[in-house]
Structure formats: C-alpha cells, structure tokens
Amino acid sequence: MEYYYVSKSEWFKIVKEFSNVDYKGNIFHEIECLIPDDTLGVIVSSKNGTPILSSLFIKRRKHLFTLLDSYIPDMPFLGLRLQSKLSLRAYMDAVKVFENAVFKKASIVRLVNHPVINDVRPFIWRGWNIIVQYTYITYPDRLDLKSLPKDARWLIRKGLKRDIEYVESSKTSDIEHFTRLLEEVMSRKNVEYNLSVVRRHLECILNSGKGRLYFAISRDTNEVIAGEFFLIDESRREAYRLYAASTVQARRDGIAAALLYKTLSSLKEESSVRKVYMLGANVPSLSYFVEDYAHTVEPYYILVKGKSILNTILKHYST
C-alpha cells in the first residue's frame, strides 16, 4: 500500500474514476461545492492504484498545533471513505499507512465519521481516541400518525387544523425566507449559526439538485412561519434533516410538528426515501422533540489522535 495527497479537484476526479468500486462513503464526499477549496485529500491505495481508505481534511491551527479536521461546519459528517470488501488485516495495514501520511502534515487529526463506518477497531488498536455520538433515524415507510406518541399526535392534529399552506421548494430565491426564521431562532435561544455559511450551504445543495426546502405559510398573513431543509441522497435513498426553524407561535400551535410530519411523508411518497438521518440526538432540548418521529438511534464515531505526548493529553480529555 502507498499514500498520496490530492487537492479538492483531484479528489473528485478520483471519486468519479472509481465509482464502480463499492465504498462505505457518504453524500458529503460527493458534493463538490460543500468542500472548501484549500481542502487536503489523503488517500491510501493498493499497488494497482485503487483507493482503499481516504478522507478529506481542512487544515486548522489549534493553539500552537496544526489540526487536520475532517469536519465541515454545520454538516454532520465527512470522515472516512473506506472500501467495503476489506479484510481486517488489510484494514489494519491501511490505517498504519494512513497515520504515516496524516502525521506528516499535522500534530492532531480528527475524523468525524458517518454511521456507515461502523467498525473502527483498527483505529482503536492504534491508540486513537474515540468519541461516540448519535443520530436519530426515521424510516418513512414505517411512519404513521397512529403509531406516534400521544402528545405528538395531538400536536400534529392541532397544527393540521390551522389555516396553513404547505409548500415545497428547490429555488435558491427562497433561501432568505428560511434564514429569516433561523435569525428569529437565534434571537430567542442560545443557538448560533453563521448565516453566511448557512446560505452558502443551502445554495450549494439546492444548485446541485440534492436539496429541498419545505415551508408552512400562514394564509392569514402570507408569512413563512416554519421551515425544514433536507439533503436528499437519491442513489442511496436516504435523506438528512440539516436545518429546521419556526416561530414560537408555530411551535405552540403544532404547525412546526405538522410540517415535519408532512415533510417526512412527502419524502417517502415523492422521493422514495427509505431512511432519514434526523440528527439532533446529542442535544437534550432537540432530542425530546425529534425522538417522537424517530424509530431508532445510530451511533457514529469521532476519532482523534495526536502525536506522542499530545495523544496522552487528548486521551485524558476524551474519557
């Protein structure tokens, strides 16, 4: 095995070139406009040049140290892209080569992996620190109003009785309606969004044809009072609930709940989505709401390692 470094543009050429190989990857590896231009790609390949294990990294300064970070702000995962049919011994060898590559570029490395990377034993055995996080999962074909908790049913039915128009959009011109709602959320809660980053992400995903906005509009005032934004991965028949926002009144009146329920139903009927990553499982205030619409939780693994003494310090803070 060998390693090499690539630019962002080279990474995407390689992804396309080896599209016939079965990888454990995710859609965030495949949307070019989400990835910053100065991103570094690290690839471990076999002797015939086929990538085995790889990741994209943003290079950051962390105090006196250089950090390679496989995380895009506001996006849930990036992490590893790993060949599916890989023996444990080959996986272990690839991790050794990968380590050699990344620690020539940085003192600390962080991998924020998608749940599909469900076996990280070779990293643990090599001394990487593991942080377990969770995402809620919803299966739209199993979503039924009657099966939801009593309080959720009551809230949704309350919302559905209101004089509301439910609208779906893939137009970038509608982004401002959504960011206005986010601004309102920020003003009343201890939540911070970099709105310029949010706008850039929404525009990127919508322009790539992989995003959809859903709005609840009051027919009395013609105002947008609740919104949802989903990233849709048609090839894997999956979706991600990336952003949501509503007015206080829309939450109280059940309109935000009704919008989410109708959106999940729409994903099943119109986009044939089988699995939705609802996220929101690592913050108690979000979890209590999202749990009502979810069928299970799945773990995902954040892997962190530093050079020599740094790793001892990191291990202390990650346990």
| % of the chain beyond a pLDDT of 90 | 79
Same domain, residue pair 234 and 262: yes
Q: Please give the structure tokens belonging to residue 107.
A: 């003192």
Same domain, residue pair 217 and 279: yes
Say whether pLDDT at 6 is over 70: yes
Amino acid 10 reads E
**Cross-strand pairs, 137:** 277, 296
Quick one: pLDDT band at residue 271, thresholds 50, 70, 90?
A: confident
Of 206 and 317, the one with more pLDDT: 206
Quick one: pLDDT band at residue 313, thresholds 50, 70, 90?
A: low
Same domain, residue pair 309 and 288: no
Nearest one of 192, 208, 191 to 200, comparing CA atoms: 208
**What's the number of domains the chain is made of?**
2
| 3-class DSSP string for 9-24 | HHHHHHHHHCCCCCEE
Do the beta carbons of residue 274 and residue 74 sit within 8 Å? no
Determine the average pLDDT of the residues in 236-244. 95
Determine the average pLDDT of the residues in 4-27. 92
Q: What angle do CA 260, 265, 271 make, to 5 degrees?
A: 115
In tens, the pLDDT along 79-101 reads 999 999 899 999 999 999 999 99
Same domain, residue pair 73 and 179: no
Nearest one of 124, 114, 116 to 72, comparing CA atoms: 114
Same domain, residue pair 144 and 290: yes
Rounded CA-CA distance 133/282 in Å is 7
Determine the average pLDDT of the residues in 28-55. 93
Per-residue confidence (pLDDT) for residue 319, from 0 to 100: 46
Three-state secondary-structure class, residue 180: helix
Per-residue confidence (pLDDT) for residue 314, from 0 to 100: 61
Say whether pLDDT at 289 is over 60: yes
Determine the average pLDDT of the residues in 239-263. 95
Quick one: pLDDT band at residue 311, thresholds 50, 70, 90?
A: low
Burial of 284 (0-12, 13-18, 19+ CB in 10 A): exposed
Tell me the CATH number at 267.
Answer: 3.40.630.30
In tens, the pLDDT along 169-183 reads 999 999 999 999 998
Say whether pLDDT at 308 is over 70: no
Say whether pLDDT at 312 is over 80: no
Same domain, residue pair 102 and 216: no
- Count the alpha carbons within 13 Å of 119 in the hemisphere toward its beta carbon: 12
Residues of 208-228 as b/e, b for ≥16 C-beta within 10 angstroms? eebbbbbbbbbeeeeebbbbb
Same domain, residue pair 204 and 105: no
Do the beta carbons of residue 140 and residue 276 sit within 8 Å? yes
Say whether pLDDT at 244 is over 80: yes
- Count the alpha carbons within 13 Å of 292 in the hemisphere toward its beta carbon: 19
Same domain, residue pair 120 and 72: yes
Per-residue confidence (pLDDT) for residue 28, from 0 to 100: 93
In tens, the pLDDT along 108-153 reads 999 999 999 999 999 999 999 999 999 999 999 999 999 899 999 9
Rounded CA-CA distance 118/130 in Å is 12
Same domain, residue pair 112 and 87: yes
Residue ranges of E strands in the chain: 2-6, 23-24, 40-45, 51-62, 65-70, 80-83, 108-112, 129-138, 164-169, 211-218, 224-233, 238-246, 275-280, 296-306
Per-residue confidence (pLDDT) for residue 138, from 0 to 100: 96
DSSP-assigned states of every residue in 130-169:
EEEEEEEEE-GGG--GGGS-HHHHHHHHHHHTS-EEEEEE
Say whether pLDDT at 62 is over 90: no
**What's the chain's average pLDDT?**
92
Same domain, residue pair 160 and 210: yes
Say whether pLDDT at 189 is over 50: yes
Say whether pLDDT at 213 is over 90: yes
Say whether pLDDT at 317 is over 60: no
Determine the average pLDDT of the residues in 43-60. 93
Q: Note down the domain range covering 241.
A: 140-294
Same domain, residue pair 56 and 190: no
Same domain, residue pair 11 and 117: yes
Do the beta carbons of residue 233 and residue 247 sit within 8 Å? no
Say whether pLDDT at 234 is over 50: yes
Do the beta carbons of residue 67 and residue 112 sit within 8 Å? no
